[in-house]
Each structure stands twice: as structure tokens, then as C-alpha cells.
Structure 1
Amino acid sequence: MCGISGVAFRDPLEGPEEELLKSMAEAMRHRGPDDEGFYKAPGIGLAMRRLSIIDLEGGRQPLTNEDGTVQVILNGEIYNFQELTQKLEGRGHRFQTRSDTEAIAHLYEEYGDRCVHYLRGMFAFALWDVRRRRLLLARDRVGKKPLHYCELADKLIFASEIKSILADPRVPRDIDPDALDQFLTFEYIPGERTIFKAVRRLLPGHFLIWEGGRLRTETYWEPDFTPENGLAEGEWIERLEAELCESVRLRLVSDVPLGVLLSGGIDSSMLVALMRKVHRGKIRTFSVGFQDASYDELPYARLVAGRFGTQHEETILKADVTQLVPELVRYFDEPFADVSAIPTYLVSKMARRHVTAALGGDGGDELFGGYDTYLAQKLAGAYERIPGLLRGLLVEAWANRLKPQAQKKGVVNRIKRYVEGFEYPRELGHARWMAYLTPGDKEKLYTSDFRAALYGRSGYEPMVQRGRGLAALDPLARAMAVDFLTYLTDDILVKVDRMSMAASLEVRAPFLDQEVVGLVHRMPSHLKVRGFKTKYILRQLARRHLPREIIQKPKQGFSIPVKNWLCQELKAMMMETLSKERVQRHSFFNPEVVSRWMHEHLSGTHNHAHRLWPLMMFELWREAYLMPRNDKAVPKEYSAAGSFR
């Protein structure tokens, strides 16, 4: 695992300053504390930081082909590199190392840009073709590893993390208003946009070519969600177990110790079970728990650890995270408000004290239908048949009068969240219950300047467009496909990558292996959600391996009691971060609305945590990235508030 970056110039004779390359690499030291590497030539400069996992001595990057005419830097792991190496050696290629990075160089010699089709793993890589003076950037199919780029008048800058791109003082820092609107809507920024107008994200399943001073992107893979009918349930279960076992086996290839991030849910518990099935050695598991019992899954994690005889480590997350939150904000480079980032970082940090890589259960919910929102969507038709006047006078008025509960998934909280979902555009489908600012909220919160900068565009549009493109699927399959293409890629995988890399830990996701993904996408949706039972087929498979308590337990989610913390331990931090004085420093939000939301939340009459927490994350991000600071990791060339220019 690494952090990669580089600069390519329109002028073939121009080269990057050595100091810039070093600054770009240094900004991502946390991604690769073991080593660094550079390549400089007319027209190009490459830089990387390395976390050594495979071929500890010989895997120093950049790596090349036999004559040095193909230079490669890689972030990630290619799990089938040994198989590829054997085939390429059979075709006359000579390898100098046992590294998966070198396999890409030889694969490119053999197949050109089509080399990406042969890679099985998580990756983002940069390849410089010396003879053709041509740069190829590529990102894995699902988007497990990040890659960003910025095109300026004279060059292209790219990097795993935006902070590395910002090491160049010429990169504009203007805020993209649509990206900000989308962040406040969903707690993350979906698709190609980033918070900076000048910086773009390379999409999963895409590659970028820079040649002759021109940039173009192409799609090399798109998921096929077409269901395959005719197979018996038992046959699907057999195929699923076989593919998951192979996926886990491939991800155990490592020259450093491995473990499992064990939440106590069915996904991570299945990984422990399958790891025990294919691996006879010691298994280490790592879990984080909470003082609030409604959020804590440690008893279930202990049950699984005991069942499979793992060497188990755990920690308790306490509410005093006021020093930690600003630190984590800086690792994301842009506003990000998924509160599960906090426990993800802490369990990664704990695991890193014992191992360098770990398996994680990410992707299980999106593949197998694990979210309550899928059930909410099934009920939506019946609810919407109630006359609107009756809904407003009875159901919605009654729900609004209910006081929020302290428990994570209390009945009252579920009712209030469900009813609130119908304030969103119907075209959002199940994403109505994954959005956090209603149209009415935005009308009150956004200043006239902010609304004018949006020119009437809607922050809900990315989800609506995704849904339209999947109209041929049944409603449940469409909802899961939208989540796979948006929430998984741009929230879950971003969170896991940044927080694990902040701890210099590599996290591998067996559920997101391309063969597993392809198989599960072919399954009919009734095998995923049956009646009101989520993850039906995974639970059926789990009956072979896991205790009944794990299979039958409802989903809790890897989250924190942010609603309660904002009223207690994080109250002072919230009051300071969202004070009228702070909010008035820019022209984005109405400070009176923010103050009212804080007052209502603290009084207990409303739960505004899903509104206040994103606003806090934006203010902390703005302070870290748009205010002058004496910090080498964050450039100093920022305006006081940013702009919409």
C-alpha cells in the first residue's frame, strides 16, 4: 500500500522541481512510512511513499520493465500477480523482483492499456511510457484506492490524496458550490467532483491518458446488474461460498502479519469463519466498542473470536474525541461527515500495533441488501397511498411532536426518520432515507449568495441520475445498485482508505473481489431481501459457519452516539465551531438558522445531529484548508474563506 503522485508537462522538455516532488510525497507520509521513491525525466515526475507488504526488499518503486522504458508506481495490491508473473515469464518477460508492481510494467508491454483488464485487486497506478512520452493513470473497478487529478495550463498533477496536489501553490482553491451542496445533502461528495473546482476524482473502472499535452478518460469496466434466473437457491449458496473462500485465500498473500477488523456483525464474522477455513495459522481480530450499549457490539465480536479461537484485541471508544476530530478532518482533505470514520480510525490504529494488513467486511451491505432503507422503500408505496392532507394532519404532525430517543435505533427515532424521508423528492427512491438536508432545510440554511451560485441545480441530482440509468431493474435491485455506485464508492471506501491509511494499515475487502461482485450482482434480488429479512442468502450461508446469535441479530451499523455527544462531551466544541461569529466569516450559511438548530438540539425537542455534524465538519475543514496555518502538510496559500469563482 502506498501513496502515489506526479506531474506531467505539456512542454516535453520541462521537468518538475525536485522540491515539489518531495513535498507531494511528504504530504502522504502516513500512507507509506517505510520508504519513498522518485522518477524524474523531461516532461514527467513521479513520487511515492511505500507501506511494505509484498517483497519487502525488492519492491521499491518506481519499478520498470527490462530496459527501463516503462515506469510504474502503484497504490494497492494485485492479488493475482503471481499467476500473471508466471504467464508473462512464459512469454519471455524477465522479472527482477517478486513485486506486484513490476507485473503491471510487463503486462503493459504485452497488452498496452488493456493491461487493466487482467488485474484482480485494489489499485490506483501511474505508468509512464518513456518511448511514447505517455502517462496512463488507472483506478480499480470498485474504487477501493483513490486517485485525484488537476489540469493546469502547463501541466497535469495527480495524487492519491488531494493534499499532495495542493503542495503545488498554483492549484486554485476555489470551492465548488455543487460539491458543497452535495456534501451537505449526503455527508460526502459523490462522483467526479471534489470540494475544489480545480480538482477531479478519477472514477472507478476508468483510466486517464495524458499524451501530447492532452487529457482523456475512458471507461474500462462497468458493473452488470442484470439478474440471472433459473438457478436453485442451494446452487447460489455453493457458488457464493466458493468465491468468498477464494477471495479470502488470495488476500492472505502477504510478507507481513495479517488480521481481521471484527465488528461483530455478520459480514466481518463471515470473514473470520472463512479465514479459519482456508488458513491454519493464528488469526488476530480487532474490535472497537462503545460505552453506550445500544451502539456496542463487543459481546458479539467476543462470541465470534471465541468460536474460532482468534487472538482478540479490543478497545472502548470514549466520548472525549475533541482533539481527535480536527486531526481526522485533515486526513480527508475535503468535508466528510460519516461519523463512523472515528471508530474506523481507532480500530485501525489499534490493529496497526500488531499487524500491517487486515481484512474488512466492507461491501457486504451494498451487495446483499443490508440497509434498513431497502425495507423503508418497500413500505413507501403503502404510505404514499394515504391522502396527503391526512398524512400531514395526523401522521407527520404526530411524528414531529415526538421527542427523539437516546437509543440508536429506538422506535421513535425510526418513525421520525421514516416520515422525514417523504420531504425529499420522490425520484430519490430509497436515498430519501440517506439524505440529510431537505429542500426546506436548504431554503432556510443557504444564503442568497450560495443559492445563486447553484443556479437552481439540485444536490440530489447525482442519485436521481443514477436511478434513471438503472430503470430496467426492479426497485430493490435499483436501490442496491445506486448504493453500490455512490454510497459504497464515495463514502464507505473513502472512509476506510483514509482512516486505515492514517494509521498506516492496509485494509483488504474480500466481499469486493471482482469475481464475488460479479456473482452477487447476477443474483435475483429476492435472494438478498426476502420479506423484511435483509441479507437473506448471506445468512443462509452463515448458518454453516456462525453462531445463531450472529445470524439473527439485527444490523446495528458501525457508528457513534453523535446525537448524545453533541449535547454532552462535544457540546463546547459544537458551540465554538458553529458560533455566529465563525459562521458569519463566510457567505454560505444563515447563522440564525444554525443557532436555532443548536438550541433545539440541546433542548431535546429535535434531533438535528444529521444537520449539525456536517456543518461542524465543513467549518473544521475550512479552518484547516482555507485559513493560513504554519503546517507543512497543508499549503498556506488559501484565502480567508474560499470563493465560488
Structure 2
Amino acid sequence: MCGITGAVWQSESLRVDPSLLKQMTDAIAHRGPDDDGAWIDNDQRDGQGRHYGVALGFRRLSIIDVEGAAQPMSNEDGGVRMVFNGEIYNFKALRHRLEGSGHQFATDGDGESVLHLYEDIGTDCFAELNGMFAIAIWDTRRSRLVLARDRIGQKPLYYALVGDRLVFGSELKCLAAVPGVCNEIDPAAIDEFLTYQYVPHPGTIWKGVRKLPPGHVAIFEKGKLVVQPYWDFDPTVEVPRSKGEAVERLRELLADSVRLRLQSDVPLGSFLSGGIDSSLITALAQRQQGEMPIRTFSIGFPIADFDETGYAAQVAEHLGTNHQRFEVQPNGVDIIDKLVWHYDEPFGDSSAVPTWYLSELTRREVTVALSGDGGDELFAGYDRYRALWLSVRLRRMFPIHKTPGIGLIQRFPDNNKQYSITRRAKRFLEAIGQPEARRYLNWLQIFPERMRAELYTDEFVERLPGEDPFEFLDAIWNRSEGRDVVTRASTTDMLSYLPCDLCTKVDIASMAHSLEVRQPMLDHRVVEFAASLPVHLKFRGRRGKLLLQDAFGSMIPKSIFTRKKMGFGIPIGAWFRKELKPMVHDTLLADDARIAPYFRREVVERLVGQHERMENNHGYRLWNLLILEKWLRQWAG
């Protein structure tokens, strides 16, 4: 687990010299505190005599082959060089195959298998990998740079093509170290951020800077950049299976996925929230560990609606793990400036706060942790899937969305409770009259379109392009045409929310503390299997995750499957009315607020006032505005 960066250029004026490459690699030292490496060659030439310069930079967190596997690494004749961030879980099988075909290995690490596989089959090699990764390969023979990102987007990779120089890195701050790259904010990205609480791929907050989408490869050759997928699946295809067949196959796949992710030469543990997904992953890991108790870690809050640690302790006792609990207090958001620096661009998922602390405290005990991320998206676990399913049934039975006076519920006051009936009813009834994809966006978005229209200044509106942020989600939604509404929603989350939000959140928070987090649910074999399942095996009668219970119900307490679902958020709404009220006024309502050119002050004041008077719960909206304000102060000069 590491950080990578580098560049390719033709013009000598765009050369990346050793001091600049060091700045780029030092910017991500937290991702790899154990070692660093650099390789620069300013005299590469292609078959037509064209000149190229190449720089590869690397920071290492040692997990496998701790003493060896230094990077950048090269093949036997030095014709191919690579920097690599991540883990290849099937590297032993690949190595056996490659040694059989005559390749000589200089290390015991997983990365060298990628290098030799690329020699044999070129960019088709990435489809052979089971892992999480961001990879950069310089191919001297073809004078080309190849960038690749894992299928699900667990590892990030950014790039920018400015003139005839391509720069890349594991985090945006690598690119920000290069003059002339991160210069201009993209207004569309702000609009997208307020919609989704993240900036979706392939865009970033900076104009001209891109995220490589999950499952894609970028090839920079002869001055041209081509980005294309190397992996995909057809979400319209449903494979008929009996429950028994599905249970058996899921048991095989997930057990093998956990087995592969237990490979480590350093201490390993598991996040344990007390929810279904992390409990199952921990149970499978403990079964494979045998009598040696696995280390488990959970984090909670002093407000009961947000605290799951009692359930985590119950599971830990049931499994016999060595368990530790941590707690986040209201002053825990004092790390907001650290979050803004590490996440590089505005990222508004408030669960980054507990993820940050959980990663920090877990790293004190282990270097690798398993996580249950992906279970909700793969096996229909979110409450919003039930809301969407219910809205479809209601509209079929009678036109509830046309009922006179239904809009009056929007005037009802909210309260501090995370799961208040009024709050849920508001969101449900506001969306029920919309088409399915728009209806689903309504339950996802932070600022609805009407609120963004009120919030934006006239000057900012004029700077926005004609694209609607909804187009990102709509394009993904349409890929699963013909499937039931729950499958379409969960597949959409799998291809949008999962890589853009959850994977980003976990990667940045964990790597900020040099902790490697492995997510067995996101093995591509499990993902493809789950996407192909008939919905009745996962979701029925307003209940989700049925197949998980059928396959693994005997491994953890039954109460974990039947208890009310809780998210991994923080009680930000309550804290903004009490402990954190001064922070809101001192930032969002300050005379020198950086959001002023974008948002109407009177609208921001209204949101703050309504929230404090408990007329409406704007907690997550205020959090996203606060994040944006802090980001502008820190990154926008």
C-alpha cells in the first residue's frame, strides 16, 4: 500500500526535475512512510527519434515482502518500469504461471507479477488482477505511459494533460505541486458537490484535472491520451438461480475473498461496527484465523441514535475477538482542517470524521484492517431502496403523488433525531411524483435543485455550464434498463456512490494514518455475482440483505440481522445547534467568507437560522457548506 506520482513530457521547458519530483512524492509521504523511490530519464526516444522525459515517484507502506520490493521497479532488461499502489491478492497464482513461462523474479512482493504480466499481454494484464490498485507503467519499447485503476475504484488516481506533459498522482496534492496544473476551480464541480457531497468522476474540483474512472486504463502515446475501460459487466443481465445455489456460491466467493485478504507480513485486524457487513467479514476472518483472536475495532458517539458500539461488543464477544472501542466527542470535528487537506477537493460525507478516528486509533495496533464496505450496495441494504420500492407500489395502487395538500408536510418542523418519521416523510413525499431515477436522486442529494437555485448568486449561475449534475447518475441508472427498481438503484450506487464516496472516504482517511484497509465485499467476483442475482434473493417484503442472512446467519447473533439499521454518520445536526454553533457563525457567516461569490448570504443565513430554531434539519447541508468554505480558504489561495 503506497502512493505513486510522476510525469511524461516532450518539451524541455516542462521537465520534472528531481526537486519537483521530490515535492510531488513528499506531498503523499503519509501514504508510504516506510520508504521512497524515484526514477527520472530525460533522454527517452521513440522509433521516430522523438524525445521524451519520464519521471516516476513512489512512497511505500510495507505490507508484503517488507524488506524487498522497492519501487520504481523494472523488468529484467529495464525496458518496462512501474510504480504501483495497492495489493494484488492473486499474485501468487500469477507468479507461478509467469515463472513457468520463463520470467525471473527479483522480489517476493505482489507488484512484480504485474510488471511481467504486462510484458506478456500488454494492457490486457489488468483484467487478470484481483486486487485494489493504481498503477503507472512506462514502456520504453513503445514510448508510452499506461495508467490503470482497479475495477471498483478502491485506489484513487488523478491526472492532467497540460500541453505535451502528462502528470499523475495518487492524490490531487501531487498535481498541485506542479506549477500550472491546479489553477482554476471548475464551477460545475461546485454544483456537483452540493448535489452529491462529492465531485463525481471523471471530473475534479480543478478544471483540466481528471480522475481515472474505476476499471479504466489511460494510455499516453505519441502525444495523445486515450482513456478506455478494461473491465465492465452487463447490469441488464439477470442469472436465474435457486436460493440454495446462490447461498453456496456466495459462501465460496466471500470466504475466498477474505482468505486472500488475510495475506500480510504485518499485524492485521478488522473494523467492527456491529452492523451486518463488518460482522460477517470479521466472522469469516476469525474462522480462518483459527484459535488466535483477531483484533477488532469500533468507534461510537455519546448520542444513542448514532452509537452502534454496543452491537459491536456483542458480536466481538460472540466471535471471541480481541476488541477495542473508541468514542468521538463533539470536539472531534476539530480535525476538519486536516480532513480538508487530506481529501484535496471538497468531500462532504460527515462519516469521514469517525472513519478518520477509527483509522488513527486502529493504526496504533495494526497496519492492515478488513472492512465490510459494499454490503449495502451489493445486497440491497439501504433504507432508500425500501423507500423507492414502496413509492413504486403506492403509485401503482393510487396516485398518492397527486393528493391535494401533500406539500403541507414540508412545513412540519424537524427534530434532532436521526431517524425521525417527519424527516423521512418529507423526503419521501417530495420525491414520489418524480420519475424513478429523479426520485432516487432526491433521496441521495444534499441540496435539491430548487434549493441550489435559491442559493446561487446570479454571477455564479452565469458561470455554470449547461450540464445538469443529474446526468451523471442518470447515465448509470440507464445502464440497468429492464431490471427491477431495487436492482437499478443498488447497481447505480455500486457504480457511483461506492467508488466516489465510500471508497474515497476509506482510502483517504486510512492512508492519512498509513493504515491499509481491505474490503472483501469488493472483490470483483463478488460484485459481478451480486449484480446478476434476481432481486427476490436479496430483497423481499421491504427487507434487504436476505442472501447474506441465508448464507451466514448462523455465524453471528440473530439480533444483528433484525435490529434497526444505523448509518455511520455523526450527530452533526445536534452539534450545530449546540457545541459547534460558534464554528458555523465564525465561518459561513463571516464577513470574509470565501463562499460569498458563489452563494447568497441571505439564503445561507436562512438555512442557519432554520436549523438552529429546529424549523428544519439542515445539518448535512451546513456541513457541506462548511467543508466547501474551509476548502476554499485552504486550497484556493
Tell me which residue corresponds to 1:297. 308
CA offset at residue 441 of structure 1? 0.5
Tell me which residue corresponds to 2:570. 560
Q: Does 1:361 align with 2:372?
A: yes
Q: Does 1:346 align with 2:348?
A: no
CA offset at residue 234 of structure 1? 1.3
Aligned to 1:5, the other structure's residue is in SS state: strand
Tell me which residue corresponds to 2:45. none
Q: Give CA-to-partner distance per residue, 1:278-329, whole Å, 9 cap, x none.
A: 2223300000011111111111100111111111111011111342111111
Distance 2:190 2:137 in 1: 32
Tell me which residue corresponds to 1:207. 217
In structure 2, relative to structure 1, the CA distance for the partners of 1:70 and 1:14 (3 Å cut) is farther
Tell me which residue corresponds to 1:128. 138
In structure 2, relative to structure 1, the CA distance for the partners of 1:505 and 1:423 (3 Å cut) is farther
Q: Give CA-to-partner distance per residue, 1:493-513, whole Å, 9 cap, x none.
A: 000000011111000000000
Q: 1:60 is aligned with what amino acid?
A: A
Distance 1:138 1:389 in 2: 49
Among all aligned residue pairs of Structure 1 and Structure 2, give the percentage whose two residues are the same amino acid: 43
In structure 2, relative to structure 1, the CA distance for the partners of 1:601 and 1:585 (3 Å cut) is closer
CA offset at residue 382 of structure 1? 4.9
**Residues 280-359 of structure 1 correspond to what in structure 2 (within 5 A)?**
280=290, 281-359=292-370
Distance 1:455 1:27 in 2: 32
CA offset at residue 113 of structure 1? 1.1
Distance 1:361 1:258 in 2: 15
Which range moves more in the overlay, 6-15 or 615-624?
6-15
Tell me which residue corresponds to 1:180. 190
Tell me which residue corresponds to 1:537. 547
**Residues 90-169 of structure 1 correspond to what in structure 2 (within 5 A)?**
90-169=100-179
Q: Does 1:247 align with 2:257?
A: yes
Distance 1:590 1:403 in 2: 24
CA offset at residue 583 of structure 1? 3.7
Tell me which residue corresponds to 1:21. 21
CA offset at residue 423 of structure 1? 8.0
**Structure 2 residue corresponding to 1:582, chosen from 580, 592, 601:** 592
CA offset at residue 427 of structure 1? 3.7
Task: List alignment gaps of at least 5 residues for structure 1.
Answer: 628-645
Q: 2:283 is aligned with what amino acid?
A: A
CA offset at residue 544 of structure 1? 2.0
Q: Does the Cα contact within 8 Å between 1:128 and 1:136 map onto a contact in 2? A: yes
CA offset at residue 408 of structure 1? 1.5
Distance 2:277 2:39 in 1: 41
Which range moves more in the overlay, 179-188 or 318-327?
318-327
In structure 2, relative to structure 1, the CA distance for the partners of 1:389 and 1:422 (3 Å cut) is closer
Aligned to 2:365, the other structure's residue is in SS state: coil
Distance 2:594 2:110 in 1: 51
Q: Does 1:62 align with 2:72?
A: yes
Distance 1:429 1:538 in 2: 27
In structure 2, relative to structure 1, the CA distance for the partners of 1:278 and 1:537 (3 Å cut) is same
Q: Give CA-to-partner distance per residue, 1:76-103, whole Å, 9 cap, x none.
A: 0000111111110110000010011111
Q: Does the Cα contact within 8 Å between 2:394 and 2:400 map onto a contact in 1? A: no
In structure 2, relative to structure 1, the CA distance for the partners of 1:208 and 1:229 (3 Å cut) is closer
How many residues are matched? 624
CA offset at residue 229 of structure 1? 4.1
Tell me which residue corresponds to 1:508. 518
Tell me which residue corresponds to 1:599. 609
Q: Give CA-to-partner distance per residue, 1:145-182, whole Å, 9 cap, x none.
A: 00000111130000010011000122142111111101
CA offset at residue 371 of structure 1? 0.6
In structure 2, relative to structure 1, the CA distance for the partners of 1:193 and 1:108 (3 Å cut) is same
In structure 2, relative to structure 1, the CA distance for the partners of 1:529 and 1:440 (3 Å cut) is same
Q: Does the Cα contact within 8 Å between 1:373 and 1:431 map onto a contact in 2? A: no
Q: Give CA-to-partner distance per residue, 1:564-598, whole Å, 9 cap, x none.
A: 01111111111111015234664211011001110
Distance 2:168 2:454 in 1: 38
CA offset at residue 379 of structure 1? 1.9
Q: Does the Cα contact within 8 Å between 2:594 and 2:629 map onto a contact in 1? A: no
**Structure 2 residue corresponding to 1:498, chosen from 500, 505, 508:** 508
**Residues 229-240 of structure 1 correspond to what in structure 2 (within 5 A)?**
229-240=239-250
Distance 1:202 1:431 in 2: 24
Q: 1:260 is aligned with what amino acid?
A: S
**Structure 2 residue corresponding to 1:433, chosen from 443, 447, 452:** 443
CA offset at residue 227 of structure 1? 4.4
Q: 2:526 is aligned with what amino acid?
A: V
CA offset at residue 492 of structure 1? 0.5
Distance 1:388 1:251 in 2: 48
Q: Does the Cα contact within 8 Å between 1:224 and 1:518 map onto a contact in 2? A: no
